[in-house]
Amino acid sequence: MYRTHTCGELRASHDSETVTLSGWVHRRRDHGELIFIDLRDRYGLTQIVFDPALNKEAHALAETVRSEFVLKVTGKVWVRPAGLENKELATGAIEVRITEIEILNKAKTPPFEIDQDKEVNEELRLKYRYLDLRKERMKNNLVFRHKFIKRLRDLMDERGFCEVETPMLMKGTPEGSREFIVPARLYPGTFYVLPQSPQQLKQLLMVSGMDKYFQIARCFRDEDSRGDRQPEFTQLDLEMSFVEEEDVMSLNEEVLTILLKELVPEKEIMQTPFPRLTWHDAMSRFGTDKPDLRFGMEIRDVTELVKGCDFKVFADAAAKGYVKCLTVEGGAEFSRKEIDDMTELAKVYGAKGLAYIQMEADGPKAPIAKFFKPEELEALVKAAEAKTGDIIFFSASDSFEVACNALGYVRLACGDRFKLRDPKKLALLWVTDFPLFEYSEAEKRLASAHHPFTAPKDDQIAQLDTDPKNVLAKAYDIAMNGSEIGGGSIRIHSPIVQEKIFKTLGISDVEIGRRFGHILEAFEYGAPPHGGIALGLDRILMLLRDEPNIREVIAFPKDSKAKDLLTGAPSSLPDETLKEMHVKCVEE
């Protein structure tokens, strides 16, 4: 028998019991006569003591052990005298005085220290992920992930949802990304595609009458710029029949609220029911479709006010587009460098520049001030509701999105600068009434803002023929602390409307048949009205654990360039394998 207890289990109540523990050497302290070891397993740490007076051989062997050796030890539980307990440890009331030790396995010196949460190069952490996962923080993240998903499954089950596994090897489904493909050995020249999401299959489950489906689903997306994305990630994917937008949103809100209250009681949900903003309001007021509502600092529109002014940049934008402003309390103290950094940030999001007014004690100061008459300047300051000590930033653009976005990112940077983004607070909200399409400048055509199965608003179906760009969708996103954590929609269930959407997207009849024939056909056999959503579980877990990226809550993630540093994937394959798969590699 390897153990009678775990390393996290023993308490004063076990006094004088003879116990056997197995685990890793977390830390070893040699005090001449006595050797102390903190023995570690998933459940905790126990201090074990080797005293030559108890067993000379055991003590001698303990002298040879090093960090991360795997031990099996037997000894007697000894309750520490009052005042000598280790308050830091759950097992701190006791120690175990060892009479027998067996070294189950030796360990090389690890490439980084396991017993400390020091900054370690991420490449090294990913290459030795099994060692990285020995660390307290990482282990806790994985256990939290398990608990979260377990409770989520139960909550879905209690609400009548049935978990159905959908295949990994399938035909592609468009979610706006490139797909991973798998050559089909049995059918030369053909391929399976790894799903970007179970979207079409969950809709087909609705046609089958499943009524309420969910899945903790793995999704695959092959994207160029990886950033904080993973080629494979996990969603709570769900779909419901006979529902409106409201039904899907309230179900999710209920489940999320329970989960957050139970699993992160130390965090405060700022507002329930979650606030709702239309896409247009979210953009106008916060410059993004996923606003961080932990703080105010709203964007204002001053387009009307600057029409025909002498500052050409504003006047031109106001004639065709938008001039927006953002008042930042305390921003008058920003240095030149800080203002330059904000300007660079705004430029990343398409702005040509960032005008500003600093509200000094002796009045507004700004390079642009000379273009405005005193009363015009006063009117701007008034509209911006700025007072002494503030700064007002302005963005001007022909495009609504650019004018809003630029200030949206400046707003977040100012939120960080003034520590307004408190990690102890959770601000959730729904964003609704998204445009159905986006115009892709690169491809000079319309693309689905969400995916092509999203239903347009009922009263706008006719507008698909005349003015598709302004059609709104029955779509909703949920955001938390400035991150999008999920999105979904009511779907099209009419084959006629679905076909119309494919055509509006510029997909030819032949393509429609080839790629989507199965779903159009399914809709002809009695498809119920239906809708659903997917929540990005990795992202949610990252936010709840206060982690800087999703790799910290995934056991074996790829690095930021989509490589698996542990196993070395992706890697080349032997020629015979390629031949068998009918695959030929072409030199670029």
| Contacting residues toward ligand ASP, per CB under 6 A | 175, 197, 199, 487-489, 532-534
Min dist. Cβ of residue 84 to ligand ASP (A):
55
Q: 548: buried, middle or exposed (CB in 10 Å: 19+, 13-18, 0-12)?
A: exposed
Token output for 94? 């006791």
Min dist. Cβ of residue 72 to ligand ASP (A):
47
Q: Which is nearer to ligand ASP, 211 or 329 (CB)?
A: 211
Q: Which is nearer to ligand ASP, 371 or 434 (CB)?
A: 434
* AA identity, residue 508: S
For tokens 């092509």, the residue is 452
Which residue number has the CB closest to ligand ASP? Answer: 197
| 3-state per-residue secondary structure call for 523-553 | HHHCCCCEEEEEEEHHHHHHHHCCCCCHHHH
Nearest Cα to 498, choosing from 477, 524, 459, 469? 524
Whether 279 and 454 have beta carbons less than 8 Å apart is answered as no
Min dist. Cβ of residue 487 to ligand ASP (A):
5
Q: How many CA atoms lie within 13 A of 161 on its CB side?
A: 25
Whole-number Å distance between alpha carbons of 200 and 237: 12
Min dist. Cβ of residue 179 to ligand ASP (A):
13
Q: What angle do CA 580, 558, 41 make, to 5 degrees?
A: 115
Q: Which is nearer to ligand ASP, 371 or 476 (CB)?
A: 476
Whole-number Å distance between alpha carbons of 421 and 543: 12
Q: Which is nearer to ligand ASP, 199 or 395 (CB)?
A: 199
Q: Which is nearer to ligand ASP, 455 or 543 (CB)?
A: 455
Interior/surface letters 259-269, b for 16+ CB within 10 angstroms, e for the rest: bbeebbeebeb
Four-residue CA torsion sign, 124, 128, 130, 135: negative
The residues, any chain, with a CB within 8 Å of residue 353's CB and separated by 6 or more, are: 313, 343, 346, 347
Q: Which is nearer to ligand ASP, 41 or 239 (CB)?
A: 239
Q: Which is nearer to ligand ASP, 141 or 489 (CB)?
A: 489
Min dist. Cβ of residue 186 to ligand ASP (A):
29
Min dist. Cβ of residue 248 to ligand ASP (A):
9
Q: 370: buried, middle or exposed (CB in 10 Å: 19+, 13-18, 0-12)?
A: exposed
Min dist. Cβ of residue 39 to ligand ASP (A):
45
Min dist. Cβ of residue 177 to ligand ASP (A):
10
Q: Which is nearer to ligand ASP, 436 or 534 (CB)?
A: 534
Min dist. Cβ of residue 533 to ligand ASP (A):
5
How many distinct helices (H) and strands (E) make up the chain? 17, 24
Q: Which is nearer to ligand ASP, 302 or 533 (CB)?
A: 533
* AA identity, residue 301: D
